[in-house]
């Protein structure tokens, strides 16, 4: 185990560069040496034949694993930029790691083997069907490998129902949506977005009117990746109908992060199968929190006929994108939903929205351009000048902006420490490099921009 005293490396591809020691506040569990393994140490070698050497090697592996776990724990404390809820304790579920749980095939079909967790999967699916207001006997779904697979599935259903359909998705859609268009060779039209990241419905209308001969497959964002903007399903439906697309459209709702949060927000438009939508997907490792990537996709039972084939070998139906499917994820999701319930999840949503608002205000108070839309727990702000700082806090950046996704583990205290540190560093960057505060008016609106031109007209918000 290498104990090095250098700057933190940005990602795991750089494990061979250096280990890391971080000097941070005690609150984040720092001021301890955190060791990081190097790539050379990970070179896989045959176990020694000699018993003493083999025992030494075993002990070395244990030390390495313990050190790496410590490293991950420390880095997790500085994880702000990606939508992962890291606030969980799944130790009770550790025994399940000793079983090969594979839910291959249709979760509702009877199968030959017994080492699976379909009972848990179906219970989780029922929960989500209820959550998004689908009738129990009229929906179908499965636990996916993540939001990407949910999008690939939902958009495939749309494509199969309307093989000559055109896919419409706003520029702010996740890249998996455009990947689906490429994979399925579907013509895709990118719709403009507003500054907040929401679909521009006037642009949608004009594009639909240019293509009235082809059915429409719409990707509606229930929370865009970067700004957390929510497309208005009601507006999309009324635009489609006004443009003459009655019964010739399919709407897939990409709710990777916020599909789990929206039903808990009173002000939000309902994401519901009572509306003419075709499918909804969500990531399980995002708001809910799960150590392995996973997700849920729900569609209407009537739509699944287009995608289901009987397979003798698995004694089941092949109706999912992947073959083998993670059988652990349903247990983790079931456990989380059962422990938290609606009440617990509602509380977490409220705390995250409040903390996101706090972060936005705190950034503005120290003169940093920032914005957070009403229904979102994502705060976008001026991209920090120093990549080391970006890496240290694991911020996600795009162009002039960085963002923080305020998840349950991103606490009030952590936000305060982050902003204090950013403000201090920014003062140094300012002095050292003659740094000009960038204008972010076109990225987040002049009402959120604290550049020299726009700041004069803005008041520093009060808490
Ligand atoms: C809006 C949106 N859709 C889809 C995805 C993909 O989800 P996953 O990473 O679970 O595949 C993401 C991931 O960030 C996302 O933000």
Per-residue pLDDT tens for 41-91? 889 999 999 999 999 999 999 999 999 999 999 999 999 999 999 999 999
How many angstroms is it from 147 CA to the middle of ligand 1? 5
Task: Tell me whether residue 90 is in a domain.
Answer: no
> Residue 151 CA: which ligand 1 atom is closest?
4
Q: Which strands form 370-371's sheet, in the order they lie side by side?
A: 370-371, 378-382, 401-405, 396-398
Do residues 279 and 385 both lie within one domain?
Answer: no
Q: In testing the pocket of ligand 1, which one of 84, 85, 176, 279 has its CB within 8 Å of the most ligand atoms?
A: 176
Residues 316-324, mean pLDDT to the nearest whole number: 87
Do residues 306 and 427 both lie within one domain?
Answer: no
User: Does the model's pTM come out above 0.75?
Assistant: yes
pLDDT at 34: 52
Do residues 348 and 423 both lie within one domain?
Answer: yes
Task: Find the CATH number of the domain harbouring 315.
Answer: 3.40.640.10
Residue 240 main-chain phi, psi, to 5 deg: -60, -45
Do residues 27 and 40 both lie within one domain?
Answer: yes
Report the DSSP pairing between strands 309-311 and 295-300: unpaired
* End-to-end CA separation in angstroms for the chain: 46
- Structural contact between residues 331 and 412, judged by C-beta atoms closer than 8 angstroms: no
Do residues 191 and 325 both lie within one domain?
Answer: yes
> Which of 338, 358, 385 is the C-terminal boundary of a domain?
338
> Residue 255 CA: which ligand 1 atom is closest?
1
- In total, how many domains does the chain have? 3
Report the DSSP pairing between strands 249-254 and 378-382: unpaired
How many angstroms is it from 30 CA to the middle of ligand 1? 31
- Structural contact between residues 128 and 263, judged by C-beta atoms closer than 8 angstroms: no
- Residue 196 is a catalytic residue: no
Task: Tell me whether residue 4 is in a domain.
Answer: no
Do residues 138 and 35 both lie within one domain?
Answer: no
Do residues 413 and 299 both lie within one domain?
Answer: no
Average pLDDT over the chain, rounded to an integer: 90
Residues with CB under 6 A from ligand 1: 83, 146-148, 151, 174, 176, 221, 223-225, 254, 256-257, 283, 293, 295
Do residues 42 and 135 both lie within one domain?
Answer: no
The answer to whether residue 21 scores a pLDDT higher than 60 is: no
Do residues 160 and 247 both lie within one domain?
Answer: yes
> Which of 25, 46, 76 is the C-terminal boundary of a domain?
76
pLDDT at 12: 41
How many angstroms is it from 283 CA to the middle of ligand 1? 7
Task: Tell me whether residue 3 is in a domain.
Answer: no
> Which of 308, 338, 368 is the C-terminal boundary of a domain?
338
Cβ neighbour number for residue 119 with a 10 Å cutoff: 12
* Domain, as residue range, for 132: 95-338
Choice among 117, 145, 369, 376 that is catalytic = 376
Do residues 368 and 319 both lie within one domain?
Answer: no
The answer to whether residue 3 scores a pLDDT higher than 90 is: no
Give 222 or 27, the one with higher predicted confidence: 222
Residue 120 main-chain phi, psi, to 5 deg: -70, -40
How many angstroms is it from 14 CA to the middle of ligand 1? 25
Residue 144 main-chain phi, psi, to 5 deg: -100, -175
Q: In testing the pocket of ligand 1, which one of 79, 83, 145, 148 has its CB within 8 Å of the most ligand atoms?
A: 148
Q: pLDDT tens across 415-459, in order? A: 999 999 999 999 888 776 666 789 999 999 999 999 988 987 766
How many angstroms is it from 408 CA to the middle of ligand 1? 18
User: Which neighbouring-strand residues pair with 230?
Assistant: 222
pLDDT at 345: 98
Q: pLDDT tens across 127-185, in order? A: 999 999 999 999 999 999 999 999 999 999 999 999 999 999 999 999 999 999 999 99
How many angstroms is it from 95 CA to the middle of ligand 1? 29
> Residue 173 CA: which ligand 1 atom is closest?
1
Residues 309-319, mean pLDDT to the nearest whole number: 72
pLDDT at 346: 98
Q: How many CA atoms lie within 13 A of 147 on its CB side?
A: 27
Sign of CA dihedral 147, 148, 152, 153: negative
Report the DSSP pairing between strands 370-371 and 216-221: unpaired
Residues in contact with 392: Cβ distance below 8 Å, sequence separation at least 6, in sequence order: 8, 22, 78
Which is nearest to 142 in space by CA: 385, 304, 344?
A: 304
How many residues belong to the chain? 463
The answer to whether residue 212 scores a pLDDT higher than 60 is: yes
Q: In testing the pocket of ligand 1, which one of 146, 153, 322 has its CB within 8 Å of the most ligand atoms?
A: 146
**Which has the minimum average pLDDT: 16-30, 82-96, 287-301, 364-378?**
16-30
Residues in contact with 179: Cβ distance below 8 Å, sequence separation at least 6, in sequence order: 148, 152
Residues 423, 100: Cα–Cα separation, whole Å:
49
Task: Tell me whether residue 86 is in a domain.
Answer: no
């Amino acid at each position: 185990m290498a104990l090095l005293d250098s700057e933190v490396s940005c990602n795991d591809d750089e494990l061979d560069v250096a280990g890391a020691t971080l000097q941070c506040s005690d609150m984040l569990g720092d001021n301890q040496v955190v060791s990081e393994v190097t790539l050379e140490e990970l070179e896989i070698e045959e176990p020694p034949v000699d018993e003493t050497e083999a025992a030494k090697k075993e002990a070395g592996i244990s030390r390495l694993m313990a050190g790496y776990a410590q490293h991950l724990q420390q880095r997790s404390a500085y994880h702000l930029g990606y939508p992962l809820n890291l606030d969980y304790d799944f130790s009770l579920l550790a025994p399940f790691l000793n079983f090969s749980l594979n839910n291959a095939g249709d979760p509702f079909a009877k199968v030959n083997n017994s080492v699976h967790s379909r009972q848990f999967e179906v219970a989780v699916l029922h929960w989500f069907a209820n959550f998004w207001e689908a009738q129990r006997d009229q929906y179908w779904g499965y636990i996916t490998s993540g939001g990407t697979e949910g999008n690939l599935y939902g958009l495939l259903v749309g494509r199969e129902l309307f093989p000559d359909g055109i896919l419409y998705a706003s520029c702010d859609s996740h890249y998996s949506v455009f990947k689906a268009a490429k994979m399925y060779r579907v013509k895709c039209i990118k719709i403009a977005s507003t500054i907040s990241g929401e679909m521009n419905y006037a642009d949608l209308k004009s594009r639909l009117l240019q293509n009235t001969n082809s059915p429409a497959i719409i990707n509606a964002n229930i929370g865009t990746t970067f700004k957390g903007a929510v497309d208005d399903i009601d507006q999309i439906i009324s635009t489609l109908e006004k443009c003459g697309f009655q019964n010739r459209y399919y709407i897939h709702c990409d709710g990777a992060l916020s599909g789990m949060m929206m039903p808990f927000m009173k002000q939000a438009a309902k994401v519901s199968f009572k509306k003419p939508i075709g499918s909804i997907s969500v990531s399980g490792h995002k708001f809910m929190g799960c150590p392995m990537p996973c997700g849920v996709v729900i569609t209407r039972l009537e739509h699944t006929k287009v995608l289901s084939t009987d397979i003798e070998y698995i004694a089941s139906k092949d109706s999912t994108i992947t073959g083998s499917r993670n059988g652990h994820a349903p247990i983790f999701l079931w456990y989380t939903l059962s422990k938290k319930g609606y009440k617990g999840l509602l509380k977490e949503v409220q705390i995250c929205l409040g903390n996101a608002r706090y972060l936005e205000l705190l950034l503005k108070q120290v003169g940093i351009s920032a914005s957070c839309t009403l229904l979102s727990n994502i705060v976008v702000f001026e991209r920090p000048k120093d990549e080391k700082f970006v890496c240290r806090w694991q911020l996600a950046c795009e162009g002039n902006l960085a963002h923080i996704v305020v998840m349950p583990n991103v606490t009030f205290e952590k936000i305060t420490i982050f902003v204090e540190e950013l403000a201090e560093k920014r003062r140094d960057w300012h002095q050292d490099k003659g740094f000009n505060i960038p204008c972010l008016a076109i990225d987040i609106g002049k009402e959120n921009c604290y550049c020299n031109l726009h700041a004069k007209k803005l008041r520093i918000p009060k808490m």
